Structure 1
Amino acid sequence: MGVSLLAYVVTFFIFICNYTLTICSIVFPRWLTFVTPVPFYMETHYGLFKLCRSITRECRVFPSYDHGDCQEEGFCELWRAAGASMILSAILGGLALFALLATMCSNRRKRSKAWAPISFLLVLYALPQIFSMSVMAYLYNSSSTFYIGTKYNVSFVLCIISWIVSILLSVILSLVAVLGPPDYSYQPL
């Protein structure tokens, strides 16, 4: 049993798209959004590391002790843990990309056994994202920082899509390896 080069190439390109989603969810300050109703329309976007308001078109560090964001007990610690967890996920994603690339460049014998560590790396890549998503959902539901009308935004959804695709890739790669036809190696005469 083994995984073909084609399966690794397809996994590699799907994972590159998936990794892009993770990077976008880290960079764009769009995890949560609050829209002020009429008459003064204003959007407030909460990102992992900054807060942006549409009325001033400026962004600032978030959460910040200077602006009174950390008055609620444990809020800043949890928010920063979510940000650090996404950074850890980006690092693990880079390792997974490197492992996939090294596997594609290796010989058939090494490729046939590489599915297990790569599947493990894909799951390991998804776990910090699941943690970040869970922390954000917890803070969204329990913190008094977010007013009624605050909604999840694009970065939150990208994070969810990214970890789900990563888990699916891991499961599919494992199934291809276990259920696929045996890999008959060439035996020289």
Structure 2
Amino acid sequence: MSARDRSDEEARLQKAFGAELRLARIRAGLTTRTQLCRRLREHGFHFGTEKTIASWEQGRREIGVVRLIHVCNAMNTSVADLLQRVERRLYTEKSGHVLIDLHQLANTDDPLLQPLCGWARSQAPTSVNHRNSVMLLPPEAVVAAARQCGLTVEDITDRLRSLDLPTSVPASPDGVADSGEGRLR
């Protein structure tokens, strides 16, 4: 791998990490960076400023391991969960796939995703085992979903990724959405 390729890969990784850090903050109910700064101070840590958090979330600055642990604790999430989400994002970005939880999609209150809710309900397993409700949408299904919702592929991808996923998901993408009668068209 050339130095340039390595640099591009590091930038992609940093951007994916930042995006997942931002989503973890929002999932924790901390809708602003100010709220995360306040939470960090409540936990006795004074290293997080809005500007610093913004630079982490935008992939412009790396976060050290010790600070990452404290930030994750303040957001009530684990470092392992955050890194697992980063890894999934990198895989799916590279392949054009989007990993979704059918139960989360079926029950979302996002008005722009409502056209997909019925489809997700019909595809979701009836059990509450969320591990089995995780599905990998291939690129053609993502395009179809975008068309169905009147969104761009980028917008639908961001909205689907913002839905919470269970921390443990199938290791292999055998739950691909373009098989059988439940095909997204």
Give the TM-score normalised by structure 2: 0.30
| Larger RCO (CA within 8 A; separation ≥ 6) | 1
Greater strand fraction, Structure 1 or Structure 2: 1
